[in-house]
Amino acid sequence: MIPLRVFFRTCLVIPAVVQGINSSYRSCAQSPGASPSFEVATIKPANQNDKSRFIIMQGENRFVVKGYSLKLMIAAAYDVSPKVISGGPAWIESDHFDIEALTPGATKPVREEQMAMLRDLLLERFKLSFHREPKTTSIYELQVAKSGLRLKQSTAAESSPAALITTVFPDHLHLPARNATMGEFVSVLQRAVLDRPVVDKTGLKGRYDFDLDWAADESQFGGEVPVASENAPSPPFFTAIEQELGLRIEAKRGPVDALIVDMAQQPTAN
């Protein structure tokens, strides 16, 4: 069986029914100091039979979103767990989109710049508006395990982009992370893997290379990844993260900044 490769610079994706849309977006000229925008971007409905879901840069200037709902794009662009996003019309979660965009300049934008451009696109093409409210909810804290840290310092240049790419196999998941900070790891966990916000309490400031293998359960990936059998070759997530990385996840209640969608519109053809 061919494994499903899932690019976790953002999230895993599940197919959904999408109405027919094929739209293009072109940014206005930016004033000095303004947030960067895509030079041009095309939005179209995702193929509901294609289970691929990722956000990635292809080459120096091609930004690609594959099979994302608006809700998951909001989670990626604003770096929040989908669990803290509410409001808006039902289609922001049910309809999925593909986006191809060109970034400005001669060099590949870093992730923060990519997400700034995605935020601009969401505001302009989806007419997104929202507000934030403080909320106390169930969270996970990522901590260093008492058994001791097992991460290796990355040998890559600090300016090199992080890579966190998960492959979904029938009996386990494999996440090789390279040049990743704990903040980037937490971002992946809360937006794609776990079912609640994750807070970094490790105190670790470096960049690390590591490999994580685990067997999924029904609480992960929104229940869309097949649950591993009892004889799976890898341990459950909460066991694996401690045995393989020297980290631990603790369930708590804590404050989060919830994001409430006030308005969103389907992108229309130009």
Residue range 42-54, pLDDT digits in tens = 999 999 888 778 8
User: What is the rounded average pLDDT of the residues 94-112?
Assistant: 93
User: What is the rounded average pLDDT of the residues 90-99?
Assistant: 96
Quick one: CA dihedral 117, 222, 164, 8, positive or negative?
Answer: negative
Comparing 219 with 4, which gets the higher pLDDT?
219
| pLDDT greater than 90 at residue 38 | yes
What pLDDT score was predicted for residue 247? 98
| pLDDT greater than 80 at residue 199 | yes
Range in 56-70, 159-173, 255-269 with the lowest mean pLDDT: 159-173
Backbone phi and psi for residue 171, each to the nearest 5 degrees, phi listed first: -115, 0
- Transcribe 41-89 into DSSP letters: EEEEEPPTT----EEEEETTTEEEEEEEEHHHHHHHHHT--GGGEEES-
Contacts of 44 (CB under 8 A, 6+ apart): 21, 22, 23, 97, 98
What pLDDT score was predicted for residue 220? 84
Q: Where are the domains of the chain?
A: 7-132+258-263, 134-255
What pLDDT score was predicted for residue 270? 47
User: What is the rounded average pLDDT of the residues 189-207?
Assistant: 93
DSSP 225: S
> Nearest Cα to 28, choosing from 43, 39, 13, 16?
39
Percent of the chain with pLDDT over 90: 63
| pLDDT greater than 90 at residue 11 | no
Reported as a single tens digit per residue, the pLDDT across 222-240 is 766 767 667 778 999 999 9
Q: What is the pTM of this model?
A: 0.80
Query: Residue 77, exposed/middle/buried by CB under 10 A (0-12, 13-18, 19+)?
Result: buried
